[in-house]
Each structure stands twice: as C-alpha cells, then as structure tokens.
Amino acid sequence: MDRLDDPVQAALDLAAFVRALQSIDSTGGPKHHRGLPIRLADEMVRTGIAGVRGEIDGDAVIEVWDRVVTAPDYDGPPVWFHGDLSYLNLLARDGKLTAVIDWGSCGVGDPAIEMEPAWSLFPPDARRAYRDAIGVDDATWERGKGWVLTGAFGIPYYRDTNPVLVASKVRGIEAVLADSD
C-alpha cells in the first residue's frame, strides 16, 4: 500500500467497495470459514502465538486475543465479504486504489473479516477513516482485530519462504497491539 498517494482516500475507497459488496443480496451465498465466528480460531491463534514469541509480544497478543474472543458474535443477517483484502489483492495505479482481485475467500457471513485491512494496510488516520466510512459497531471492530491476530499462525509457516508476507503479518499485529493500549 506504499504506492498509494493518499492512504486516507484509499481507506475511504476501500470502505466504499466493502459497503457496496455488503449491500448485495446474500441469499444463497456461499459460506466460508472467514465468515464464521472468530472465536472458532482460538486454538489455532494460541498455537501461532506460541510459535512467534520473540518476534512479537506474545503476552500482549494473548491479552488482545482474550478480548476478541469475548466480543459478541455477529448476530445480523449474513453479508457478502471478499475475505482477503490484503496488499496482495489490491491493485493501485497512479497512486490510487483501482481494483480488488482474488475472490477465492469470498462468501457470506460476519463482516468482521473486512476490518482486517484497517491494521494490515493503513496508518492510524486512514484506519479511523476506514472505520468511520464503514460504520461498524465496537464488537465488529474487535472481531476484525482478531482476524489480524490469526496471522500469528502463518508466521512460522512462511518465515523462510515468504519474508515479505511475514513482515506484513507482523506489522499488522503490531498495529493491533498499538491500537489496543
């Protein structure tokens, strides 16, 4: 996302995309695990945290994760989500966000997965703009932090094969920790 001229505008543009996607009738839409309650990832996240001690503050991650899993589950109607709004799946041209690719994680369910880019992609001012533009409640925002923390599981797996992805996951987790003080 370092190719974007204005991160706040990019956050607003991505939020508009997410809102438009969520406005589509989800009747009969496919289920995907990224639309399920984040608390179901508890064992995986705790295993991941154990594998990254020394790289990130595991105790701080557990403290935030414990708040995430106690956030209320989503109880609204299922909504469409892309499910992987990472730097790998957002295209930019001339300093502006222009496209979203890779729809392999798309489905219907809890919208919290779409909060993940707030910490993984954006600095604090753009993060606030993203949240305000999407208009989510505190519980959804908290569950969104959880999706970032699930990255702890992938860090050991990708440590030697994809250091760019690992650095992105670490940055996202650190942003969640900084945002949770």
- Tell me: the pLDDT tens digits for 40-63? 999 999 999 998 878 899 999 999
Cβ atoms of 24 and 77 closer than 8 Å? no
Model confidence at 128: pLDDT above 80: yes
Q: How far apart are CA 161 and CA 142, in angstroms?
A: 30
Residue with tokens 């708040």: 67
* Percent helix, percent strand, percent coil in the chain, to nearest 5: 60, 10, 30
Determine the pLDDT at residue 54: 82
